[in-house]
Amino acid sequence: MIEIEKKQLDLLLDEAIKKAKINNNTVQMLSFTEKIDPVDPHVFFEQAKYLEGNRLFWASVPDDFYLVGAGTAISMHADDDYYQNTENQWKKLLEEAIIYNEYEQPGTGPIAIGAFPFDTTSSKTPLWDNFNGSYFRVPTYLLTKDKDDFYFTVNLQIKESDQNRQLRDEIEKQKDILISPGKLKHEVPILKNKSESDPVMWKQLVKQATEKINQGQAVKIVLARKMEVDFAEAPAIVSILKELTSNQTLSFVFAIEKEQDCFVGATPERLVRIDNQQLFSACLAGTAPRGKSKEEDEKIGQALWEDMKNREEHNHVVHMIRGALESYSEAIDIPDEPVVYPLKNLQHLYTPVVAKLKEGFTIFDVLSDLHPTPALGGLPREASLTFIREFESLDRGWYGAPIGWLDAYANGEFAVAIRSAVVKNKKATLFAGCGVVKDSIPEEEYEETMMKFTPMLTALGGL
């Protein structure tokens, strides 16, 4: 830490301690951001385990944008009215915080990383005990990598009894641990066993859903299922993240660690991004495998683009997102037709969405209106959710739900938490889903879910 930054931090610590005393020992939030030399985000994440644990990881891999958090400065939790309660807590935190950030780049300063549940009925089983309801965390230490620029943020809760010098010494000591150069040991998880939820019963559920659709009770119902894998030893989360960021190069890679559990994944589906009031979203629906050669790959992609079932499914998502955005945005730009979006293991139909967020609206408004899109719940929304709640045996928890980050400048980004898993010690539970429409064939939908297990299963050493 250079001398001028030390002096600035000293002044801020003094101010925060004084403010805590004035407010009768109320804890005072302080956030301090500086620019630093390059640091490997994966190494930072690994080094964070030597501090107080509870790590965070977010990467928009194609944008070369990373957020890595260590420790917990503040956490925000809501058991109901998730979006409004979280927004209220976030606003209150920012109103009372002392923030020093001369850069004000998206993703710097105090940020919160977390997720909302898929549904009000989610997060009820022991699998989700550490991830129940909506949960967001402001990390004590944050690394932000935006292409070639690196930032380090310290977020502290200051008490009137705190001592300036002691705090500064602790910050410097822990910063040295986090940003010290190091080599990662790539440890491929050793998978002992894997088992999937009853395929026969799940295919019967697909048939039941098509019957409901053909009776006119819904247009589309998204069904999900799980797979469980056991390891010889608890897998190293950093190795999973390294595998995902290396191979899922068009995805958002995430990890939220809480105690001994970690929710981790690599999703290709952005729900919404807000950057200086500019809104970005995406329609992603319709799936096919990759080919073994360039010619086969192009042939499969063209067949996907021409397939009426997949195009209809994709158009439902486009129509819904356009309709939702019209109430709180303007200058909406959505192409007339999708393109084929190739990932490492799969390819999808994809339509980008760009708009301008109207004054007075926030990312919370967008999230509460968009989720779940027809790609994750179905259409109409309430009819499909009613079927899922009544007949799907899976507790989705955070699977398929909004996951992402918020900063102090009304910026943020949320993706849909598909291609994901909950890792609990020596066991992981993976999730996959597909959209059922009137012409769906149970065996084909089952095979589609098997394809969608592939990215996480590969990262976990199962393929």
Instruction: Encode the chain (463 residues) as per-residue pLDDT tens digits.
Output: 555 577 888 898 889 888 888 877 578 999 999 999 999 999 999 999 988 779 999 999 999 999 999 999 999 999 999 999 999 999 999 999 999 999 999 999 999 999 999 998 877 899 999 999 999 999 999 999 999 999 999 999 999 888 998 999 999 999 999 998 878 887 888 889 999 988 999 999 999 999 999 999 999 999 999 999 999 999 999 999 999 999 999 999 999 999 999 999 999 999 999 999 999 999 988 889 999 999 999 999 999 999 988 898 888 889 889 998 998 999 999 999 999 999 888 899 999 999 999 999 999 999 999 999 988 999 999 999 999 999 999 999 999 999 999 999 999 999 999 999 999 999 999 999 999 999 999 999 999 999 999 999 999 987 6
Residue 131, both tokens: 């991830």
Q: Which residues of 200-213 are buried (b: 16+ CB within 10 A; e: fewer)?
A: eebeebbebbbebb
How far apart, in Å, are the Cα atoms of 6 and each of 58, 151, 155, 164, 436?
A: 29, 16, 15, 11, 58
What is the rounded (10 degree) CA torsion for 6, 12, 13, 14?
A: 110
Residue with tokens 């302080």: 30
**pLDDT for the residue 462:** 75
The residue annotated as part of the active site, out of 145, 212, 220, 242, is: 220
**3-class secondary structure, 92:** helix
Q: Check if 87 is active-site.
A: no
Q: What are phi and psi of 140, to 5 degrees?
A: -65, -40
Q: Is 229 exposed, middle or buried (0-12, 13-18, 19+ CB in 10 A)?
A: buried
How far apart, in Å, are the Cα atoms of 111 and each of 142, 223, 249?
A: 8, 33, 24
d(CA 136, CA 129): 15
What residues does each domain of the chain span? 3-179, 192-234+269-459
Q: Check if 312 is active-site.
A: no
Alpha helices in 326-420, H assignment, sequence order: 363-370, 381-391
Q: Is the pTM of this model over 0.85?
A: yes
The residue annotated as part of the active site, out of 46, 87, 257, 269, is: 269
CATH architecture of 192-234+269-459: 4-Layer Sandwich (3.60)
List the beta bridge partners of residue 98.
30
φ/ψ region of 359 (left if φ > 0, alpha if ψ in -120 to 50, else beta) reads: beta
Q: What are phi and psi of 168, to 5 degrees?
A: -65, -40
